[in-house]
């Protein structure tokens, strides 16, 4: 007999979104279910209609075959991950996909149905499969599902026998009409990505439960009830209990369709409501949850079905151009999050999801956009529990064919299906405050249809869609209640907010692209957001660097066994973080997949510390030099959960501390407190920091976890000139300083290993065109003037010459170097102007007075307090996946480079300067594609910059601001070098 599922070829028909699939609902059936996870028989076919042969291998469920090294005997090659952003991996037009080369995984296993399930409704749930799922039991077709990031439930009651053993086959087709609307910017995989399970219910069951809980304590629970047998039995009723408070069915509930008797016989609707006195409202700061149990009873009182929900009482509304939670205008400190893991690709465990959110909490994030599909259901449970605002996004991105699909009626059903299923699943989560129709799919009638469904079904939350907002930030007729652009220039956002035309809250759905060494101007964004009514924040792109752990030896993904092969962003020898192209993909988008605020092993990148400070719940300002203004910068809670300590860092090397008593402040309040420490008469420049930590163990942080460290300058540095003393300076025939601790330089440096922003923003190309990466140095003159030596040199690029002067003067204990560089007008945007030199081997420790301890750059230095810092040289370097400029420290006043067996050196710049100390020349970094190709040098490469270009975010979005560019013309700087 031919198989109708194969004959109908549902993978070619966008009109078919499912067949035999049960409606989505918010009753979570995972707890107590019978898990089918584990090793399944597996075959990889070359196409969905290729014959299933005899030889089976095994594959883990859940798991994508692209990450499991499954060498299927029927395929000559394995199917590996492929990274493409916008372009589809094949040329077929929607709704078509490749006919002969369409990897199809056949997963099979036996299921033993317990004998005591007799008379029960038996349901199969496949947590997620991409992109088309076909279900067979004992060879009989059971169902079809598309929508790769939501569960599909199938009623098996009629096809399995309690006490029997059956063969369950899940066929997963990789490419389909649906792939064209799942064209998100991440790796393409194939397989089953979330758990598979069986659950049973009484034939009389809860078909859905909708919970509405508002901040005044009003609770409403709407139940939909069905019976698989057909008509509902007489006398059923529902009951509920909220943390000991009994709810009962509201018998006066007037169903909308009550006059239609036929409907009421098959669909039961019931409502319970109550009011919770003195309710503890839910917010991301105060994630208060109540436990609700809903029960469905037979007439005799016996429980037919029940369902558990965690309820958060909160309101979301838009008033004017403000998004309000519980009446407060909140800030959205968001990040875009994919379901990603470096070993599994897509499958994320409870522990992994929790670790993601805990980390985000610790770094001040309060919001997540589930880019670009509904994330694993557990993520929303955790967001409710830990406290996050979620923009829940439907699984629709048709990037490559956006315009054709947005109005294609063949896809209409898919749009409405995907958006409605997300809403049906997630509507009870207090964390979900906004629905999103998807990402980058143009804007068409299919979106309006989906928006119409949402507005009818759930009027309690705003709706957003960037594709609609793009047509007009203020237009009320478009399917977006939020003006949610991506990568909009800050000045455009501010101008809109000041224009008088703004009608909707402006919250960027993506901004501050975190690719490589990036996120310049984040502090400027937040200064503008906090100063401009109408701007409420945004979502950084993105959480992860999606580097897949790869064995360099065989080029395969390592898979689940790879834990322990990486740490702190670095992989063990023989392994690397793979990005686009590393699996031999012909078409790929390279390192654009490595654009997160954390490394693939979840190590935070330096921008996280910047973000933490920008999100500081406590702010500090100097008050007339007599006291300090302490401000509670939160929306909903006091400071009781925080403890503090004062630290006074003095330029002379001392750090004084004192315990801090945080004032009792309501949200938004400030208090003036006296200066906690007497400022010593001597000691030079002085910085006072309030180190704020958690005062108690929290769900996301043990007591003592640092939350922020606001800082004020108490006394500025007094510039002191290093006076010449008699002595000698030696320079060689090339005019280079001869010094026992230096092996090269000091020479002029105008270049840095291009960051991803420099490359994709076009700066790196300009620098190469100007020849800045290979300047030719020529000595013009070496002149002695007393003990001082003046070296004039020219550095020739291809299009211009830079004149450079160094004056070496003996000073007490060392040498002062006064430098001047004159850049021609055409070099109007260089990476840096400064000095580079290399040291002898054996120096492995850097102590400095300046900003730190983490990496900072001129336009990303807000989160690095001034103080005395010490790190190993190797720890200074940030291992961005594609090697690039890294390891800089901003505002360095003095540094000591030393080692256990070598004499050290001390460098004191004339004013706070950008400094980097690494084991790599800029050329070394620029020549490597992966971190594992870098060979550290024995000595250190030291840069002291008079000026250093900001980082910006030009890999996707605005470049840095003009104030962070390096201007042409004359630059002057000095520094002294001393042996320790």
Please tell me whether residue 439 binds ligand IPT under the rule CB under 6 A: yes
Q: What's the closest the beta carbon of residue 342 comes to ligand IPT, in angstroms?
A: 18
Q: How many CA atoms lie within 13 A of 74 on its CB side?
A: 19
Q: Closest residue (Cβ) to ligand IPT?
A: 185
In Å, how far are 3, 123, 133, 501, 558 from 143, measured between CA atoms?
12, 12, 8, 51, 33
Number of other CB atoms surrounding residue 706 within 10 Å:
13
Nearest Cα neighbor of 19 from 133, 150, 190 is: 133
Please tell me whether residue 440 binds ligand IPT under the rule CB under 6 A: yes
Please tell me whether residue 510 binds ligand IPT under the rule CB under 6 A: yes
Q: Is 424 helix (H, G, I), strand (E, B) or coil?
A: helix
Q: What's the closest the beta carbon of residue 127 comes to ligand IPT, in angstroms?
A: 23
Closer residue to ligand IPT (CB): 283 or 439: 439
Q: What's the closest the beta carbon of residue 399 comes to ligand IPT, in angstroms?
A: 7
Q: What's the closest the beta carbon of residue 509 comes to ligand IPT, in angstroms?
A: 8
Instruction: Mark 285-324 with x for binding to ligand IPT (rule: CB under 6 A) and - for no binding.
Output: ----------------------------------------
Closer residue to ligand IPT (CB): 381 or 393: 393
Closer residue to ligand IPT (CB): 120 or 372: 372
Q: What's the closest the beta carbon of residue 551 comes to ligand IPT, in angstroms?
A: 27
Q: How many Å apart are CA 270 and CA 255, to the nearest integer?
A: 8
Q: How many Å apart are CA 849 and CA 685, to the nearest integer?
A: 10
Closer residue to ligand IPT (CB): 512 or 898: 512
* All residues at 6 or more sequence positions from 210 whose CB lies less than 8 Å from its CB, including other chains: 26, 221, 222, 223, 427, 428
Q: Quick check: 203 and 120 in contact, CB under 8 A? A: yes
Nearest Cα neighbor of 889 from 689, 617, 649, 609 is: 609
Please tell me whether residue 181 binds ligand IPT under the rule CB under 6 A: no
Q: What's the closest the beta carbon of residue 85 comes to ligand IPT, in angstroms?
A: 5
Q: What's the closest the beta carbon of residue 547 comes to ligand IPT, in angstroms?
A: 14
Would you mind telling me the total number of residues written for the chain in this entry?
980
Q: Which residue has the tokens 């394995």?
A: 78
Closer residue to ligand IPT (CB): 227 or 542: 542
Q: Quick check: 208 and 27 in contact, CB under 8 A? A: yes
Cα–Cα–Cα angle for 656, 658, 663, rounded to 5 degrees: 140
Q: What's the closest the beta carbon of residue 362 comes to ligand IPT, in angstroms?
A: 24
Please tell me whether residue 486 binds ligand IPT under the rule CB under 6 A: yes
In Å, how far are 14, 107, 187, 409, 518 from 97, measured between CA atoms?
12, 22, 18, 18, 37
Has 15 been annotated as catalytic?
no
Q: Quick check: 646 and 655 in contact, CB under 8 A? A: no
Q: What's the closest the beta carbon of residue 541 comes to ligand IPT, in angstroms?
A: 5
Please tell me whether residue 156 binds ligand IPT under the rule CB under 6 A: no
Instruction: Mark 920-959 with x for binding to ligand IPT (rule: CB under 6 A) and - for no binding.
Output: ------------------------------------x---
Closer residue to ligand IPT (CB): 312 or 485: 485
Closer residue to ligand IPT (CB): 117 or 487: 487
Closer residue to ligand IPT (CB): 111 or 391: 391
Q: What's the closest the beta carbon of residue 429 comes to ligand IPT, in angstroms?
A: 23
Please tell me whether residue 464 binds ligand IPT under the rule CB under 6 A: no
Nearest Cα neighbor of 447 from 410, 413, 479, 401 is: 479
The beta-strand segments (E) located in 278-397 are: 290-297, 303-311, 316-319, 322-325, 328-329, 332-336, 367-369, 389-393
What residues from 540 to 599 belong to the interface with ligand IPT (CB under 6 A)?
Answer: 541, 592, 595
Closer residue to ligand IPT (CB): 592 or 857: 592
Q: What's the closest the beta carbon of residue 356 comes to ligand IPT, in angstroms?
A: 18
Structure tokens given for 958: 């605005």
Please tell me whether residue 402 binds ligand IPT under the rule CB under 6 A: no
Please tell me whether residue 512 binds ligand IPT under the rule CB under 6 A: no
Closer residue to ligand IPT (CB): 11 or 544: 544
| DSSP designation for 416 | H
What residues from 46 to 85 belong to the interface with ligand IPT (CB under 6 A)?
Answer: 85
Q: Which residue has the tokens 């906690």?
A: 676
Structure tokens given for 915: 């400094």
What residues from 85 to 144 belong to the interface with ligand IPT (CB under 6 A)?
Answer: 85
Closer residue to ligand IPT (CB): 466 or 838: 466
Kindly provide the b/e burial profile for residues 871-903, where b requires at least 16 CB atoms within 10 angstroms of the residue's own CB: bebeebbbbbbbbbbbbbbbbbbbbbbbbeebe
Structure tokens given for 271: 């409502």
Closer residue to ligand IPT (CB): 575 or 577: 577
Q: Which residue has the tokens 């000139």?
A: 721
C-alpha of 121 from chain center = 40
Q: How many Å apart are CA 488 and CA 576, to the nearest integer?
A: 34
Q: Quick check: 547 and 591 in contact, CB under 8 A? A: no
Number of other CB atoms surrounding residue 602 within 10 Å:
18
| DSSP designation for 21 | B
| DSSP designation for 207 | E
Has 847 been annotated as catalytic?
no
* All residues at 6 or more sequence positions from 283 whose CB lies less than 8 Å from its CB, including other chains: 314, 325, 326, 328, 330, 387, 635, 636
| DSSP designation for 483 | B
Q: How many Å apart are CA 783 and CA 791, to the nearest integer?
A: 6
H runs (alpha helix) in 601-696: 607-614
What residues from 594 to 653 belong to the interface with ligand IPT (CB under 6 A)?
Answer: 595
Q: What's the closest the beta carbon of residue 955 comes to ligand IPT, in angstroms?
A: 8
Q: Quick check: 519 and 512 in contact, CB under 8 A? A: yes
What residues from 343 to 382 belong to the interface with ligand IPT (CB under 6 A)?
Answer: 372
Closer residue to ligand IPT (CB): 86 or 929: 86
Number of residues that bind ligand IPT (CB under 6 A): 12
DSSP line for 525-591: HHHHHHHSTTEEEEEES-SBB-PEEEETTT--B--GGGTTSEETTEEPTTEEEE-TTTT--SS--GG
Among 510, 613, 759, 838, the one annotated catalytic = 510
Among 130, 182, 269, 440, the one annotated catalytic = 440
State the residues that interact with ligand IPT by CB under 6 A: 85, 185, 372, 439-440, 486, 510, 513, 541, 592, 595, 956
- What residues are annotated to the active site? 440, 510
């Amino acid at each position: 007999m031919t198989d109708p599922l194969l004959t109908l070829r549902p993978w070619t028909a966008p009109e078919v979104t499912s067949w035999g699939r049960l409606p989505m609902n918010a009753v979570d059936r995972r707890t107590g279910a019978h898990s089918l996870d584990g090793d399944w028989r597996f075959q990889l076919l070359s196409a969905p209609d290729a014959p299933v042969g005899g030889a089976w291998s095994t594959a883990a469920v859940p798991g994508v075959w692209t990450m499991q090294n499954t060498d299927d005997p029927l395929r000559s090659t394995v199917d590996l991950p492929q990274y493409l952003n916008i372009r589809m991996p094949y040329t077929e037009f929607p709704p078509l996909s490749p006919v002969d080369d369409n990897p199809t995984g056949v997963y099979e296993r036996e299921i033993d149905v317990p004998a005591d399930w007799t008379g029960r409704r038996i349901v199969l749930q496949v947590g997620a499969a991409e992109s088309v799922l076909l279900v067979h039991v004992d060879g009989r077709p059971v169902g079809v599902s598309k929508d790769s990031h939501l569960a599909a439930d199938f009623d098996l009651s009629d096809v399995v026998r309690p006490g029997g053993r059956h063969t369950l086959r899940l066929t997963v087709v990789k490419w389909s009409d649906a792939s064209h609307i799942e064209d998100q910017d991440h790796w393409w995989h194939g397989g089953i990505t979330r758990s598979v399970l069986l659950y049973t219910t009484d034939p009389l069951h809860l078909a859905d439960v909708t919970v509405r809980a508002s901040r005044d304590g009003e609770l409403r629970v709407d139940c939909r009830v069905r019976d698989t047998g057909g008509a509902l039995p007489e006398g059923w009723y529902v009951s509920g209990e909220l943390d000991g408070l009994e709810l009962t069915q509201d018998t006066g509930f007037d169903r909308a369709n009550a006059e239609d008797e036929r409907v009421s016989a098959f669909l039961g609707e019931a409502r319970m409501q109550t009011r919770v006195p003195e309710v503890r409202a839910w917010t991301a700061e105060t994630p208060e949850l109540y436990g609700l149990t809903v029960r469905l009873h037979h007439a005799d009182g016996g429980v037919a079905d029940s369902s558990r929900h965690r309820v958060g009482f909160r309101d979301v509304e838009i008033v004017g151009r403000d998004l309000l939670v519980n009446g407060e205008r909140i800030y959205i400190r968001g990040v875009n999050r994919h379901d990603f893991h470096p070993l599994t690709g897509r499958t994320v465990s409870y522990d992994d999801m929790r670790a993601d959110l805990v980390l985000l909490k610790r770094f001040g994030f309060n919001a997540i956009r589930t880019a670009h599909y509904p994330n694993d259901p557990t993520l929303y449970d955790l967001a409710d529990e830990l406290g996050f605002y979620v923009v829940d996004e439907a699984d629709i991105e048709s990037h490559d064919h956006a315009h054709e699909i947005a109005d294609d009626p063949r896809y209409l059903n898919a749009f409405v299906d995907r958006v409605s299923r997300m809403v049906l699943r997630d509507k009870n989560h207090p964390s979900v405050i906004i629905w999103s129709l998807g990402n980058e799919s143009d804007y068409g009638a299919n979106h309006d249809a989906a928006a119409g469904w949402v507005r009818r079904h759930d009027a309690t939350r705003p709706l957003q869609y960037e594709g609609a907002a793009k047509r007009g930030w203020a237009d009320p007729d478009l399917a977006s209640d939020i003006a949610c652009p991506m990568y909009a220039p800050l000045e455009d956002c501010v101008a809109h907010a000041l224009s008088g035309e703004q009608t909707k809250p402006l919250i960027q759905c993506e901004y501050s692209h975190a690719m490589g060494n990036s996120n310049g101007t984040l502090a400027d964004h937040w200064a503008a957001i906090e100063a401009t009514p109408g701007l409420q924040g945004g979502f950084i792109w993105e959480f992860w660097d999606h580097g897949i752990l790869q064995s360099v030896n065989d080029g395969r993904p390592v898979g689940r066994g790879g834990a322990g092969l990486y740490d702190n962003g670095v992989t063990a020898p023989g392994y690397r973080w793979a990005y686009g192209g590393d699996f031999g993909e012909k078409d790929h988008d390279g390192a654009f997949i490595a654009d997160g605020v954390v490394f693939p092993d979840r190590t935070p990148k330096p921008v996280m510390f910047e973000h933490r400070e920008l999100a500081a719940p406590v702010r500090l300002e100097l008050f007339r030099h007599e006291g300090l203004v302490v401000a509670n910068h939160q929306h909903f809670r006091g400071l009781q959960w925080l403890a503090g300590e004062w630290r006074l860092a003095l330029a002379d090397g001392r750090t004084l501390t004192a315990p801090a008593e945080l004032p009792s402040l309501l949200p938004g309040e400030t208090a003036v407190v006296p200066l906690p420490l007497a400022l010593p008469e001597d000691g030079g420049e002085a910085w006072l920091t309030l180190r704020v930590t958690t005062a108690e163990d929290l769900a996301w942080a043990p007591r003592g976890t640092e939350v922020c460290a606001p800082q004020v300058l108490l006394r500025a540095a007094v510039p002191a000139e290093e006076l010449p003393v008699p002595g000698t300076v030696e320079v060689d025939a090339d005019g280079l300083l001869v010094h026992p601790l230096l092996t090269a330089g000091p020479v002029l440096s105008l270049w840095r290993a291009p960051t991803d922003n420099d490359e994709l923003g076009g700066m790196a190309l300009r620098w190469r065109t100007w020849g800045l990466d290979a300047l030719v140095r020529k000595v013009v003159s070496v002149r002695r003037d007393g003990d001082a030596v003046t070296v004039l040199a020219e550095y020739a690029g291809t299009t211009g010459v830079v004149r450079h002067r160094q004056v070496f003067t003996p000073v007490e204990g060392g040498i002062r170097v006064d430098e001047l560089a004159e850049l021609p007008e055409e070099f109007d945007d260089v990476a840096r102007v400064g000095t580079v030199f290399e040291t002898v081997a054996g120096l492995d420790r850097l102590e400095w007075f300046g900003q730190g301890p983490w990496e900072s750059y001129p336009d990303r230095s807000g989160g690095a307090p001034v103080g005395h810092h010490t790190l190993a040289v190797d720890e200074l370097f940030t291992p961005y996946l594609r090697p690039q400029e890294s390891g800089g420290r901003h505002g360095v006043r003095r540094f000591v480079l030393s080692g256990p067996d070598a004499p050290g050196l001390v460098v004191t710049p004339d004013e706070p300067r950008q400094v980097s100390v690494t084991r790599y020349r800029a050329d070394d970094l620029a020549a490597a594609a992966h971190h594992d190709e870098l060979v550290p040098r024995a000595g250190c490469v030291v840069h002291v910059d008079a000026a250093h270009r900001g980082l910006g975010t030009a890999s996707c979005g605005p470049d840095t601001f003009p104030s962070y560019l390096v201007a042409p013309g004359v630059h002057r700087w000095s520094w002294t070098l001393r042996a320790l």
